[in-house]
Amino acid sequence: MEKINKITSILLVAILFLIASCKKVENGINDQIVSFNESTVTSIQIDNKLKVGFIANNVTNFEFSILKDSEVLLTDEVTLVDGQRIVEEIFDIPLNEDWIGEAFLRVSYMSDGMKVEKVRSIIFQESNPTMYIVGGSTGAGWEPQLATPLSLYDSESKSKFQTYEYLDSEGGGFKFLPTNVDWTNAYGLGNVPFSLLQDKDAENLPVIKSGFYRIRMDGKTLTYELLDVVMGVIGDATKGGWDKDTPMSFVGSKGSYLWRVKTELVPGNLKFRGNSSWSINFGGTLSNIVEEGSDIPISSAGIYLIELNLKPGEYTAVIEKQ
């Protein structure tokens, strides 16, 4: 009988412990809580969009702030609807060097009538952005490690990139990548034409017509543009002078950046132009062709083979008397 009483006592204790545990869990479920999702980055370059993930429970709104050296750099009220528990918000980090360094993300909310604050550290880095293009319609193919780099084209922006590339309409399209490592944060097709969605699972950007294009994208406004380009030569060293371009022919297909023409030249100067417009023009030296570059001198008359190679990162030209 004594043994039975001991067993009964042990069972009662176990039942009481189980009831208490259930009560604790029930109370935990009802607690008002806001926390940072572990997916939130710990470092980011300025002049970018910061995605912050939150996990909330029994909270309808809370305040989010970014602090550096006790100064509030940004604050926003986040409102949750329909019992949201997991939410992601995007905040624009300005191109402001005062932001560079260690800072803190902070959430503030009310729980049982008391204000609760939680912080998470973050490092804001100097803006040194990169962008690449990849895809079956490009010479790079679909391997991120082989992606072709773009370059910044606006001195007042670090989100606007461009390159010149032959695109094949039969290649399945292309995407933009912020690194040439993998598909993380890839840019694909947005909800409206020529808009971008930063999601590795987004649809490929389409190529309707094969051709040589000036390709531009803006990682901040999430837009892109394709301009079909035909190169030519212009200048007082050419037959057309400074009024009329001598058209060049594109040589090859995707993976090629070469334009060529054989024409008569006289002493003078010339430049390369796209679409007979000064909005796209190249000059400089034969080993270092740059946009908006200086005139290229021609010293003697004759028939010349002229080539322009717009391979990204190493624009060059050939002007050889035949």
Q: Write a three-state SS string for 111-147.
A: ECCEEEEEEEEEEEECCCCCCEEEECCCCCECCHHHC
- Tokens 């999702």 belong to 37
Band of pLDDT at residue 127, cut at 50, 70 and 90:
confident
Mean pLDDT of the chain: 91
Whole-model pTM over 0.85: no
Average pLDDT over residues 119-131: 91
pLDDT at 181: 87
pLDDT at 8: 52
Band of pLDDT at residue 68, cut at 50, 70 and 90:
very high
Band of pLDDT at residue 9, cut at 50, 70 and 90:
low
List beta partners, residue 196. Answer: 189
Residue-wise pLDDT for 177-196, tens only, equals: 998 989 988 999 999 999 99
pLDDT at 19: 46
Q: Closest by alpha carbon to 110, among 61, 52, 72, 65?
A: 61
Average pLDDT over residues 159-173: 97
Residue-wise pLDDT for 183-231, tens only, equals: 988 999 999 999 999 999 999 999 999 999 999 999 999 999 999 999 9
Structural contact between residues 226 and 133, judged by C-beta atoms closer than 8 angstroms: no
pLDDT at 266: 98
Which helix (H) or strand (E) covers residue 18, if one does? Answer: helix 2-30
Q: In what order do the strands lie in the sheet with 160-167?
A: 151-152, 160-167, 211-218, 223-228
**Length reported for the chain:** 322
Question: All domains of the chain, ordered by start, with CATH?
Answer: 34-125 (2.60.40.1930), 132-228 (2.60.40.3620), 231-321 (2.60.40.3620)
Residue-wise pLDDT for 258-290, tens only, equals: 999 999 999 999 999 999 999 999 999 999 999
Q: Closest by alpha carbon to 172, among 140, 197, 195?
A: 140
Structural contact between residues 90 and 64, judged by C-beta atoms closer than 8 angstroms: no
pLDDT at 48: 83
Asked if pLDDT for residue 28 goes beyond 60, the answer is no
